[in-house]
Structure 1
Amino acid sequence: MKLINKELYVGIFVIIGILCAGYLTIVLGGVPMFSPKGYTLYAYFTSVSGLKDGASIEMAGVEIGNVSEIMLDKERLEAKVYLRINQGIELSEDSIASIKTAGIIGEKFVSISPGGSDIMLEDKESLSNTESALDIESLVRKFIFKDDN
């Protein structure tokens, strides 16, 4: 009887350890358990250099969503970025989406500047006002190899 109790406690302890390890793997790995509530917008950018799927979307320094997909639009030859906006956040049709960098060499994220229109965007609509990422490499190249003529 004593051996069975010891084996039972060890089994329960192992199961709890496995559940904790699984939970930490999911939380620290950033794996979404359920699809987040909200809506999806898209925006076209001429350059999304350094922006990745899952990048945060911020407004006034507060995270309001994330980038769900980035693809090349073959008709426009521009990057089409799908933005997953959290439930309860409304953006007007004249909002501006900009690609910014967190710090000097930090990760890229999308910054939304609110507009003043009374017309709000709905699911699967487009943000028409965008500002592409600043390409530091091309600016440095122009500065270094500038033409002195």
Structure 2
Amino acid sequence: MNRGVYDFWVGLFVVLGMAAMAFLALRVSSVSTGNAAAVYRVSAAFDNIGGLKVRAPVKSAGVVVGRVSAIQLDPKTYRAVVAIDLEQHFHFSKDSSAEILTSGILGDQYIGLTPGGDEAMLVAGDKITLTSSALVLEKLIGQFMLSKADENKPAATPAAGK
């Protein structure tokens, strides 16, 4: 075989390899490829969202039931307002709660939904009022260090001769 045929096959192999890598990257990053399910949008306000990002999963009992679609700062309350797209076939009661959780010790953050017991269900445009903000690791370490420093301070002694 001549050099041109080898170049053709090597080039074809490289192109197919790059296409396979792009396909896997899209699947792993969970970017939608056009087969989006019907969704309804609700919102929730948090004091601190930590490292939560747009497109982060929303889970209930470990099952992905939606995605974070937008994050904004409310200029009046200075709270983060998170827009959540829930898949249409998942229904949650109006008194459901949302909390920001971390997958693993240093993993990505996601929203965990806990269903409530109300008969009325969330519909498009509703707000989830029961929320728990993200735990920020740096803040926890700082509080721990301060509490240890307070434990190691010597107790104040009363002044002698009074």
Q: TM-score, normalised by structure 2?
A: 0.74
RMSD: 2.4
Aligned to 1:117: 118
Q: Equivalents in 2 of 1:30, 1:65: separation in Å?
A: 12
Q: Which residue of structure 2 lines up, in the alignment, with residue 4 of structure 1? A: none
Which structure has the bigger radius of gyration? Answer: 2
Specify the SS of the correspondent of 1:145. helix
Residues 76 and 119 of structure 1: CA distance in aligned 2, closer, same or farther (over 3 Å): same
The equivalent of 1:50 in structure 2 is 51
Matched, 1:74 2:75: yes
Rounded Cα–Cα distance in structure 2 between residues aligned with 1:72 and 1:31: 24
What are the residue-to-residue correspondences of 1:30-49 with 2, within 5 Å?
30-34=30-34, 35-49=36-50
Number of equivalent positions: 138
User: Counterparts of 1:28 and 1:142 in 2: how far apart (Å)?
Assistant: 36
Shift of residue 33, structure 1, vs aligned partner: 3.1
**Corresponding residue of 2:97:** 96
Distance across 1 between alignment mates of 2:59 and 2:93: 15
Q: 1:121 to 1:23 in 2, by over 3 A?
A: same
Deviation at 1:98, TM superposition (A): 0.5
Runs of 4+ in 1 over 4 A off after TM superposition: 20-26
Letter in 2 for 1:87: Q
Q: Structure 1: which 5+ runs fail to align?
A: 1-9
> Could you say which residue in structure 1 is the equivalent of 2:61?
60
Moved more, 55-64 or 34-43: 34-43
Offset of residue 38 of structure 1: 1.2
1:4-43 correspondence to structure 2 within 5 Å: 17=16, 26-28=26-28, 30-34=30-34, 35-43=36-44
> Aligned residues: percent identity?
32
Rounded to whole Å, the distance in 2 between the matches of 1:135 and 1:30 is 25
Aligned mates of 2:33, 2:75 — CA distance in 1: 33
Query: TM-score normalized by structure 1?
Result: 0.80
Aligned to 2:87: 86
Distance 1:28-1:126 versus aligned 2 partners, 3 A rule: same
Distance 1:119 1:133, change over 3 A: same
